[in-house]
Amino acid sequence: MPSFDLRTSALRELNRALHALPPDTNETHWTIANPDGRHAIAVGLDAPVSVEIDGHVGYYCAGMNKRASVVVNGNAGVGVAENMISGFVHVRGDASQAAGATAHGGLLLIDGNAGARCGISMKGVDILVKGSIGHMSAFMAQAGTLTVLGDAGEALGDSLYEARLYVRGTVKSLGADCVEKEMRDEHRAELFARLKQAGLAGEVDPGEFRRYGSARSLYHFHVDNAGAY
């Protein structure tokens, strides 16, 4: 079980070692001590390994993740799991702005709260936040799901495309072209699957959530809608 202490080893050395892993590696569980808020820890992974980080991380932790499982035993800075392709990223504290930005797949689980622009331009990722999220979350979100057990800030889902948003708490306001939608059986089933992935099946009732999505009136520019852009 490889372990790195970032007070005695260089971050570049850690990321280089993770990037060099062969597809059939037996070094499948890595531990990282004393991250001390450093940026870009465990970025660009492309191997079915698990990485556990004991402490707080800075910007873009687990960015561009593919296939790996990354657990942060602390808080995460801006852009955690940014542009993730697949795999699993778990923040056991709070996350700053732009969590899961532009991510294409995988699951991002945040035990605490997430800041502004959570899920901005998400393209297929599933994001679940056990706490609340900040303003402009899911801005221009194209695909995937954002599930929030707490509240959502202003302008949720502004300029939304086809991502599906599930919020259990209150929504301060909806962004341009985002509306509340009917919660049908297929949506309850999808929401239950996300809760099950997060280990919350049986603890959280999908019937307590509301669904939000695109009104689809801003897909193409029309001069009559100019004020809404």
Rounded to an integer, what distance in angstroms lies between the CA atom of residue 41 and that of residue 59? Answer: 8
Q: Is the separation of the CB atoms in 120 and 138 below 8 Å?
A: yes
Average pLDDT for residues 196-202, to the nearest whole number? 92
Helices then strands, each counted (H, E), the chain: 2, 11
pLDDT at residue 46 greater than cutoff 90 = yes
Average pLDDT for residues 83-102, to the nearest whole number? 98
Rounded to an integer, what distance in angstroms lies between the CA atom of residue 97 and that of residue 134? Answer: 8
pLDDT at residue 229 greater than cutoff 70 = no
Give the pLDDT confidence score for residue 59 in this predicted structure: 98
Average pLDDT for residues 157-180, to the nearest whole number? 96
Other Cβ atoms within 10 Å of 199 Cβ, number: 9
Q: For 153, phi and psi rounded to 5 degrees? A: -80, -165
Question: The domain that contains 138 carries what CATH number?
Answer: 2.160.20.60
Give the pLDDT confidence score for residue 1 in this predicted structure: 82
Work out the pLDDT band at 202, boundaries 50, 70, 90.
Answer: confident
Give the pLDDT confidence score for residue 88 in this predicted structure: 98
Work out the pLDDT band at 180, boundaries 50, 70, 90.
Answer: very high
pLDDT at residue 96 greater than cutoff 90 = yes
Measured in whole angstroms, the distance separating CA 36 from the mean position of its chain's CA atoms is: 22
In which domain, by residue range, is 176 found?
3-228
3-state secondary structure (DSSP) of residue 17: helix
Q: Taking the alpha carbons of 114, 89, 104, 145 in that order, is the dihedral positive or negative? A: negative
Q: Please provide the average confidence, as pLDDT, over all residues in the chain.
A: 95
Total number of domains in the chain = 1
Rounded to an integer, what distance in angstroms lies between the CA atom of residue 154 and that of residue 107? Answer: 24
